[in-house]
Chains A and B, each alone.
Chain A
Amino acid sequence: MVVSEIVIPKKQKRNSSKGCELVTCLNSKLKSGFNLVFHSPLLCVIVFPNAHITLYPFTPARPPVSLPAALGGQSWGHEEVSESVKEYIVMKQRLMVRAFSRTLTLVQSYRPSRTAFSTASSSFAIKNVTKSNFDSSLADLRRHVRDSDFVAIDLEMTGVMSSPWRESFEFDRFDIRYLKVKDSAEKFAVVQFGVCPFRWDPTKQSFIAHPHNFYIFPRQEIGGDDSSYEFLCQTSSIEFLAKYQFDFNTCVKEGISYLSRAQEDDVRLQLHSAHENEPSESPYTAKEFKDVPLVRMADILFVDRMKNKISEWHDDLLQIRNGGSHRTQEDSNDSSDQFQAIFFKTCPSIKLNGFTSRQLRLIKSVVEKSFKDLAYIRVNNGSCFQQIIVYTNSRRELELLMNEAKESHFKVAEMKIEAAIGFRHVIDLLSSEQKLIVGHNCFLDIAHICRKFVGPLPSNLEEYAPLVQKNFPFIIDTKILLNACNILQLKMKKSSTSLAKAFAILCPHIASGVDSFGSAHNNPVAVEVQVDDMRSSNWNSGAKHEAGYDAFMTGCIFAQSCNHLGINFTSHSTLMKEDKLQNYINLLYLSWSSGDTVDLKSGQTRTESSSLNVFKNQQLKILFPNIVLIWGFPSKLKAREIKESLTKVFGLTSVTSIFHLDKTAVFVQFIKPELVSDFLKLKSTIEKKKNDAIYVLHPFSDLLEGGRTGAACYEVYKEICGSPISKPLFADQAEAITVNLDSKRLESMAHKTDSFAESESAIDTKTAETTGEILGLASC
């Protein structure tokens, strides 16, 4: 692009505040298609007729800003720029809007100190980040996160439960709840990640929020086997996303990929070991690698030709070296296409173009076999590998060359790994900045973050909690906050604490877009949203269940909650040190419905007695040793019938409660733990005497009808939930697990039942049948 400068006399420059004549003069120049540089005391304008207009502030330290920012930027004090220039620019802008949209992303790097163009009711789009604008957005996000007081997050996944019975049940123990969340985080993919840093601006008395909506997709960019990238989709979740206009195309085509820390370590390890092992496999030390067998006639001919051609080049080279006359160049074009003479690190060499991989392998073997002073190497030029044959004077020089090529391969591979980390840079940023992370009912979200970006999840909650703490020392869950804090419960008027509902109740001034300083809300927290260079004090993109917007809502709820708690944003340096929040930080819901919480700091679990479930807990105390699991009975049996048949045998009060997992599986809680083993024993006895009349008449006959009924104690339920298998029907799942378990479990159960067997044999007559029963129990 030709940039011609028009030199403007100094006098005019100073007068530019009233320099209408100058502008008209310049405009006439412009029409003739000249590029223009306009200097003013504050501004210089460079106009490229074909591309875009850039305004340079006078201070050289300030980076360039393109038009949209500058146009709104009256605050710059550009009054000096005459109206006609503005008009011209506006006109020009209309023509160039398209061109600008590309440069827009560059603009964010500069922001005028006082921007005064936040409009009354603006609804601009959220900042969507895909792989094309990831790098630039990451740079911005780094700054925003560093400056922020807290960062709100939200995730959208391809599913929640890998099978219906993996939903959270009342009868789930803490360890089982964790196993269910772990299973979900392992199987499903994250497709959208919302990050929204909030910064308190004391001068404005307002939060500045920067909502980002990242599309991510587990694309395999590097190494590893594909299986670690495979993910599950829950049909209903996909439909749910579709209902809220989730853009699957953007996700698959443009989504940002990522490597977890564990994956990165693996890939690096592979790279390093390959790097170290390479010398032993270089052609000079080990020759055990088989050459391509020359079986096809075409191969033999090809090899012959190549040999001739290379030796000719080689001979010519030597002739020149020895001062002989060199031939005139009269190569045909075709061959020079494939054989291009170049210099590689000052060594004469030929570049091989357009051969198939088989042909290249043949050439390689020819070079290695027939030419001692030639080397076949692969070098990396930018994006792709290039095969060249190099002539070297000495073995030493050759080795140096080979090493150099290898080093460059290594560097390129390292760079590729660096690039493949992708979205994890955002997670690393959140982790390293140690900011307060705010989520809404975010136990699953955090589990996904750990699984996707850190590494495999530990097998139990006790090991998981410190892992989370290490990476994210301060997490706050707005759902906990809303439910546990009395002041906020009052504000919420006992309404549902779902994200959208809570947002509507706590932040009506943002949610509805109307400033309501009415009676309902005495002190709303102002939140100004900034997307690129657009700002709004009551922004509402309205796209619910879009991760970026959900994160924004979560942050607003948190800000408002803090306000209600009487937290002064201005006086405090860090929110996480705030006394009023100490009871809630790092407390997450393991399961919201049961009110089970986990304290990540201590790894302690307990059941919140919130108003919602206190009633339920009084009604029923769950005793896990008293629970037996029954599955595979005919689906027509309902809880009442099952209870009936059990009470017929064990007494009217023997069964405390029955809970359906799905239509062919139940938990039964007995009044005392011994009944569990009694039941299991009785069941196996009846099953053995299947053909006896007693079997038909027994109260259990309905339950055992079909012969596929299984039963086990609560510990087996844990095994079933911990398995990677996910069958839709619990009975099928239990069947698959217990079949596998049989042998393994038997041994451990044997010890458990050993003492039991002894006591039993003391009472019972020692018949062989007893043994059979005990064994039957064990195999359950």
Chain B
Amino acid sequence: MPPFPMLRGRFLCTQSSTFFFNQSSGGRRRPQWPIKQVTKSNFSDSLDEIKNHISNSDFVAVSLQTTGSYSSPWHRVLPLDTPETAYLKAKYAAERFQILQFAVCPFNVRVSNKLTVNPFNFHLFQRDELKIGAPCYSFSCQPSYLAAMAREDFDFNVCIYDGISYLSRAQESEAKHQIGSSVSSAFVAQTSSSRSVADNVFVERIKSRVGHWISACKHSDTKTDDALVNSLRKLILGGDEYGSRPSLNIDVCSERQVQLVFEMVKSHYENVVPLTIAAKGGGTQSVRVVLTSSKEDRDLLEKDLKNMEEEQSKRIRGFREVIELISTSQKPVVAHNSLNDFTFIHSKFISPLPPTMDEFRNSLHSVFHDIRDINHLMKEVGPINKYTNLPSATSYLKRKFFAPVEIDIPQKASMEECKNHGHNVVRISELFARLCFILKLNPETVNQNPDGPLLKLDSNMFNLGSNGFQETDDISVWTHNPRKISINNLVFLWGFRSGISAGKLKNMLCKSHDVLSEDEVFDVRLVDKNCAVVVFWKNGLSEWFLDAIGSGSGDGLRELAAEGLMAAGYEAYKRVCKSEILGADLAASLAEIDRDHIEESAEVYWNSELMINFDDL
């Protein structure tokens, strides 16, 4: 057989060459940036380092590597989600999965497009370091996430053996109550309210007691007593030693008394330092006053105490120290998928997630007042949707715009491929710098001018899915046809043959009723293989449809309902998202919620009937 000659098309030649270019740039080649890997062993050194970098930087980029993000396809934030349901979904994930890597990258962008980055990648593993009951009892893992990390040669052993532990703010205050041994010199002085008679009596009593004790201590200093006399004196005076210094414990019965003792000591005795000793279950058990020999000695003691407290809280906070550094620096935080990342951050480092989006927004704002989302900025440049992952977004910008960015990494770190993780955080920084250039935003000025355009665009706004909603009840479902739809016009359908296509489903519905057979009445999209969403382009039709399916008014619809087709409005979906367990299958969850709903109404009926019976009696 002779070979079949091919066309020598010139255009094909060019086609293929551009194609190969695309392929190579789109291919997953891992860039080699030196990123400092931080584990338990080098954490305290790195903490000082990152502290300096954060205070010298304009922005801080963050990126997380978690053990999973959604358990089921419909658990992802979908275009049909309102901000509220999107938040609930993100909350659900953040509460179940765990963070294994937390990359932080303080960076500066200069007008010359020079990007200076200082990337750190922290390996985390939350364990019960204080032995007070695990802060994280258990967490979920998605094998696909772990497998993806394994492909990048992530070392799970290092992470588990040597990962940095941490406590959230809420867990810390709980832990302090529980360990209760904390000695603190910092008593928050409240505004001194007027003293009652009882207060005055108490203060006078304590004052004289402390006075006696001080003079006794000073007196005894001059003589060298034998052990018996010393212990007798201790017994009588109730004195004790605090380190090498003499001290006295004063029992108190209220926080008010603690305050009185502090005030009294500070005003009357110069060289005495008061400390609170916390009770086991929280609160203050007693006040300990420590006598120092001079003013210098007092300063020394106070400094020691402060250091000790810091050490202790560092030990308790662990990695959260970094979060606190970012928070107190008030630098804008740049993230790629901010809703997911910050629900995780809030739940792991601040406190359990609140039930609503608004509460979450407020709570988060008090910690990070300026959050910028790359996805949101990308929307300003072009049609988003497709460029949801970082490398593709970068290559898209590279192709479409001229935005040269020179990356400079001053720090030296291991370039060993298997130990070099956390590249995304550099990608985020790079992307942010490019976007600033393209959008003609001057990062330096933006930072100084809080009303700059950048801030208005994306401060504390979350990119929810791919839709740019304005009102909470409007969403856009169709990416090709970005129309705002009220959620009232959406109906969820299930109970059809698994794996059917949206087109077939639409056909089926078209044939079922005259109203539905007209053009441009509705459209169908699959949410997962057992559940679809129907959008009605006209208001009011969704209610009609739900009624019709429920009562089986039309012949065709009745037939469908008889075959098991079920429908529910957006309310049911909202309720599913709010429930404790989202369920792997949306159809099953909707059916469950729907059934509960019906039973609820049955319950009312049952009640009223009972009441009538009693009336008859």
- Chain A residues packing against B (C-beta within 8 Å): 158-159, 162-164, 189, 217-220, 225-236, 238-239, 242, 247-249, 251-253, 270, 273-274, 288-290, 301-302, 305, 308-309, 312-313, 316-317, 320, 326-332, 334-339, 341, 343, 348, 350, 354-356, 636, 724-726, 728, 736, 740, 743-744, 746-747, 750, 766, 768, 771, 775
Whether the pair A248, B157 counts as a contact (CB closer than 8 A) is yes
Chain A residues near B501 (CB, 8 Å)? 289
The closest CB in chain A to the CB of B610 belongs to A771
> How far apart sit A189 and B584, CA to CA, in the bound complex (Å)?
18
The closest CB in chain A to the CB of B26 belongs to A356
Chain A residues near B157 (CB, 8 Å)? 242, 247-249
Chain B residues near A313 (CB, 8 Å)? 4-7
Whether the pair B584, A227 counts as a contact (CB closer than 8 A) is yes
Chain B residues near A288 (CB, 8 Å)? 503-504, 507
A244 to B: closest C-beta gap in Å = 12
- B617 at interface by CB-CB < 8 Å: yes
Whether the pair B141, A354 counts as a contact (CB closer than 8 A) is no
Q: Which of B15, B71, B98 has the most CB of A within 10 A?
A: B15
Whether the pair B138, A159 counts as a contact (CB closer than 8 A) is yes
> How far apart sit A716 and B17, CA to CA, in the bound complex (Å)?
69
Whether the pair A273, B8 counts as a contact (CB closer than 8 A) is no
Supposing A159-B138, A230-B142, A743-B603 touch, asked if A309 and B9 sit within 8 A by C-beta, the answer is yes
Whether the pair A329, B5 counts as a contact (CB closer than 8 A) is yes
Chain A residues near B22 (CB, 8 Å)? 356
Contact with A along B423-446 (1 / 0, CB 8 A): 000000000000000000000000
- Among A229, A234, A350, contact of B137 (Cβ-Cβ < 8 Å): A234
> How far apart sit A251 and B157, CA to CA, in the bound complex (Å)?
10
Whether the pair B584, A228 counts as a contact (CB closer than 8 A) is yes
Chain B residues near A231 (CB, 8 Å)? 140-141, 143
The closest CB in chain B to the CB of A239 belongs to B127
> How far apart sit A252 and B19, CA to CA, in the bound complex (Å)?
35
Chain B residues near A334 (CB, 8 Å)? 12-13, 16-17
- Among A164, A312, A354, contact of B19 (Cβ-Cβ < 8 Å): A354
> How far apart sit A242 and B12, CA to CA, in the bound complex (Å)?
57
The closest CB in chain A to the CB of B602 belongs to A747
> How far apart sit A36 and B222, CA to CA, in the bound complex (Å)?
99
Supposing A308-B9, A331-B8 touch, asked if A728 and B140 sit within 8 A by C-beta, the answer is no
Whether the pair B599, A743 counts as a contact (CB closer than 8 A) is yes
> How far apart sit A761 and B587, CA to CA, in the bound complex (Å)?
44
Whether the pair A326, B72 counts as a contact (CB closer than 8 A) is no
- B453 at interface by CB-CB < 8 Å: no
- B562 at interface by CB-CB < 8 Å: no
A-B contact count (CB 8 A): 189
A422 to B: closest C-beta gap in Å = 13
Whether the pair B12, A253 counts as a contact (CB closer than 8 A) is no
Supposing A232-B139, A235-B126, A235-B127 touch, asked if A335 and B581 sit within 8 A by C-beta, the answer is no
> How far apart sit A188 and B302, CA to CA, in the bound complex (Å)?
50
- Among A230, A309, A327, contact of B140 (Cβ-Cβ < 8 Å): A230
> How far apart sit A235 and B127, CA to CA, in the bound complex (Å)?
7
> How far apart sit A761 and B450, CA to CA, in the bound complex (Å)?
71
Count B-side interface residues using an 8 Å CB cutoff. Answer: 69
> How far apart sit A301 and B14, CA to CA, in the bound complex (Å)?
12
Whether the pair B150, A252 counts as a contact (CB closer than 8 A) is yes
> How far apart sit A336 and B5, CA to CA, in the bound complex (Å)?
9
The closest CB in chain A to the CB of B142 belongs to A230
Chain A residues near B580 (CB, 8 Å)? 725, 736, 740
- Among B7, B8, B23, B128, contact of A235 (Cβ-Cβ < 8 Å): B128
- B401 at interface by CB-CB < 8 Å: no
Whether the pair B143, A229 counts as a contact (CB closer than 8 A) is yes
The closest CB in chain A to the CB of B156 belongs to A248
B250 to A: closest C-beta gap in Å = 25
The closest CB in chain B to the CB of A349 belongs to B4
B69 to A: closest C-beta gap in Å = 11
Whether the pair B147, A252 counts as a contact (CB closer than 8 A) is yes
- B499 at interface by CB-CB < 8 Å: yes
- B403 at interface by CB-CB < 8 Å: no
B86 to A: closest C-beta gap in Å = 19
Supposing A252-B150, A335-B16, A743-B603 touch, asked if A227 and B6 sit within 8 A by C-beta, the answer is no
Q: List 8 A-B contacts (CB under 8 A).
A: A232-B139, A235-B126, A313-B7, A320-B2, A332-B13, A334-B16, A356-B19, A740-B580
Whether the pair A225, B73 counts as a contact (CB closer than 8 A) is yes
Q: Which of A163, A252, A329 has the most CB of B within 10 A?
A: A252
> How far apart sit A728 and B133, CA to CA, in the bound complex (Å)?
11
Supposing A338-B16, A768-B614 touch, asked if A330 and B161 sit within 8 A by C-beta, the answer is no
The closest CB in chain B to the CB of A306 belongs to B12
Of all A-B residue pairs in the complex, the 7 with the closest CB atoms, nearest first, are A331-B6, A248-B156, A227-B584, A327-B5, A341-B4, A253-B150, A312-B7
- Chain B residues packing against A (C-beta within 8 Å): 1-9, 11-13, 15-17, 19-20, 22-23, 67-68, 71-73, 98, 126-128, 134, 136-144, 146-147, 149-150, 155-157, 159-161, 281, 499, 501, 503-504, 507, 579-581, 584, 596, 599-600, 602-603, 606-607, 610-611, 614, 617
Q: Which of B12, B499, B599 has the most CB of A within 10 A?
A: B12
Chain B residues near A348 (CB, 8 Å)? 1, 4
Q: Which of A235, A252, A273, A328 has the most CB of B within 10 A?
A: A235
Chain B residues near A225 (CB, 8 Å)? 72-73, 584
A127 to B: closest C-beta gap in Å = 21
> How far apart sit A356 and B2, CA to CA, in the bound complex (Å)?
30
Whether the pair B71, A226 counts as a contact (CB closer than 8 A) is yes
A86 to B: closest C-beta gap in Å = 42
Chain B residues near A768 (CB, 8 Å)? 614
Whether the pair A335, B144 counts as a contact (CB closer than 8 A) is no
Chain B residues near A356 (CB, 8 Å)? 19, 22
> How far apart sit A236 and B139, CA to CA, in the bound complex (Å)?
11
> How far apart sit A329 and B501, CA to CA, in the bound complex (Å)?
45
The closest CB in chain B to the CB of A737 belongs to B580
B582 to A: closest C-beta gap in Å = 10
Chain B residues near A743 (CB, 8 Å)? 596, 599-600, 603
Chain A residues near B504 (CB, 8 Å)? 288
- Among A305, A328, A724, A750, contact of B15 (Cβ-Cβ < 8 Å): A305
Chain A residues near B579 (CB, 8 Å)? 740
Whether the pair A329, B6 counts as a contact (CB closer than 8 A) is yes
> How far apart sit A316 and B17, CA to CA, in the bound complex (Å)?
26
B262 to A: closest C-beta gap in Å = 27
The closest CB in chain A to the CB of B607 belongs to A775
The closest CB in chain A to the CB of B22 belongs to A356
Whether the pair B6, A339 counts as a contact (CB closer than 8 A) is yes
> How far apart sit A479 and B139, CA to CA, in the bound complex (Å)?
31
Whether the pair B581, A724 counts as a contact (CB closer than 8 A) is yes
The closest CB in chain A to the CB of B600 belongs to A743
Chain A residues near B16 (CB, 8 Å)? 334-335, 337-338, 354
> How far apart sit A775 and B9, CA to CA, in the bound complex (Å)?
84
**Contacts A249-B150, A740-B579 supplied; 10 other A-B pairs, CB < 8 Å:** A225-B72, A226-B143, A231-B140, A248-B159, A313-B5, A332-B8, A335-B12, A354-B16, A726-B138, A747-B602
A559 to B: closest C-beta gap in Å = 35
> How far apart sit A350 and B614, CA to CA, in the bound complex (Å)?
85
Whether the pair A220, B139 counts as a contact (CB closer than 8 A) is no
- Among A234, A270, A309, contact of B12 (Cβ-Cβ < 8 Å): A309
Chain A residues near B156 (CB, 8 Å)? 248-249, 251-252
Whether the pair A230, B141 counts as a contact (CB closer than 8 A) is yes
> How far apart sit A326 and B2, CA to CA, in the bound complex (Å)?
8
The closest CB in chain B to the CB of A160 belongs to B138
The closest CB in chain A to the CB of B151 belongs to A253
The closest CB in chain A to the CB of B596 belongs to A743
Chain B residues near A289 (CB, 8 Å)? 501, 503
B283 to A: closest C-beta gap in Å = 12
Whether the pair A335, B6 counts as a contact (CB closer than 8 A) is yes
The closest CB in chain B to the CB of A746 belongs to B603
> How far apart sit A232 and B580, CA to CA, in the bound complex (Å)?
16
Chain B residues near A330 (CB, 8 Å)? 5, 8
The closest CB in chain B to the CB of A727 belongs to B580
Whether the pair A233, B7 counts as a contact (CB closer than 8 A) is no
